[in-house]
Amino acid sequence: MVGAVAVELKGVVKRYHEILAVNQLDLTINTGEIFGLLGPNGSGKSTTLKMLMGLVTPDAGSITVLGKDVQKDPVAVKQLVGYVPESPRLYEFLTGIEYLDFIGNIYDMQTKEKKSRITEYLKAFQLEGREGDMITSYSDGMKQKIALISAFLHRPKLLILDEPLSALDPRSARIVKDFLQELKAQGVTAVMSTHVLEIAQAICDRIGIMYQGKLLALGNMKELRQMSKLPDSGLEDIFLKLTGTGDTRAIVEELLK
């Protein structure tokens, strides 16, 4: 149901020794929303996504995912969520088909349904004929496709995607973008982080911009344009202005000296 809450963070704090990675983060993401979490390197994006998955424990605050407390019931959350980390670590000693079969078994999928979906995804991502090869022989793009299939396979209610289009060819990237839109229509929520701002602008319903661990800005494109006082600009210019990192011309001129 669109409008219901899929993800809620209240006063979330995460420190890594002296580094304050996430600082008092409050955020609500609605069911059936494609939400973009953006920010410069080191702004706290990946840490936030890992906390949503229960892979990193916050030092303060609460996180609710699909009505479940992530700290109290992390296994239940993982059963409902599909996750693609920034740098997927696959079992490269397995073949592609063995790995996907293993993932399907983890989610206790029925054999017939599991095989059917694996076949469909392998065909869609043009991995037919290579599914019997060891993953260690795959290109980075092929490994990313396996990671994406693993996240989609069990039809999760929430997708947490950290740089999901990394290393993908244009055709596969388009399939993922269109597929996310179709899933959205079915009430599936997606939270994605990407440095490709054109992608975020094109497919995200709302965007949150993190900077130095805090949520600097939040809204749709119209709201972000108003906030940045850049009424006709794209997300890249808005992002650079809001984060104070827009002095790129001066840096280029220094490099040319």
Give the per-residue pLDDT at 246. 67
Domains of the chain, residue spans: 5-89+156-256
Check if the beta carbon of residue 226 is closer than 8 Å to that of residue 220: no
- 118, with CB counted inside 10 A (0-12, 13-18, 19+), is buried
Give the per-residue pLDDT at 113. 97
Check if the beta carbon of residue 168 is closer than 8 Å to that of residue 145: yes
Of 114, 82, 92, 91, residue with least CA distance to 180:
82
Give the per-residue pLDDT at 254. 80
- 145, with CB counted inside 10 A (0-12, 13-18, 19+), is buried
Binned average pLDDT, 10 residues per bin, the chain of 257 residues: 82 96 98 96 95 96 96 94 94 97 96 97 96 97 97 97 94 96 96 94 97 96 96 94 80 81
Domain spanning 5-89+156-256 has what CATH number?
A: 3.40.50.300
User: Which region, left, alpha or beta, applies to residue 43 given φ > 0 means left and ψ of -120 to 50 means alpha?
Assistant: alpha
pTM exceeds 0.75: yes
Report the alpha-carbon angle 146-198-174, nearest 5: 40
Give the per-residue pLDDT at 1. 46
Q: Helices 140-152 & 170-185, crossing angle to 10 degrees?
A: 10
Give the per-residue pLDDT at 2. 45
Can you list the alpha helix ranges (DSSP code H) found in the chain?
45-53, 74-80, 96-106, 111-124, 140-152, 170-185, 197-203, 221-228, 235-242, 248-256
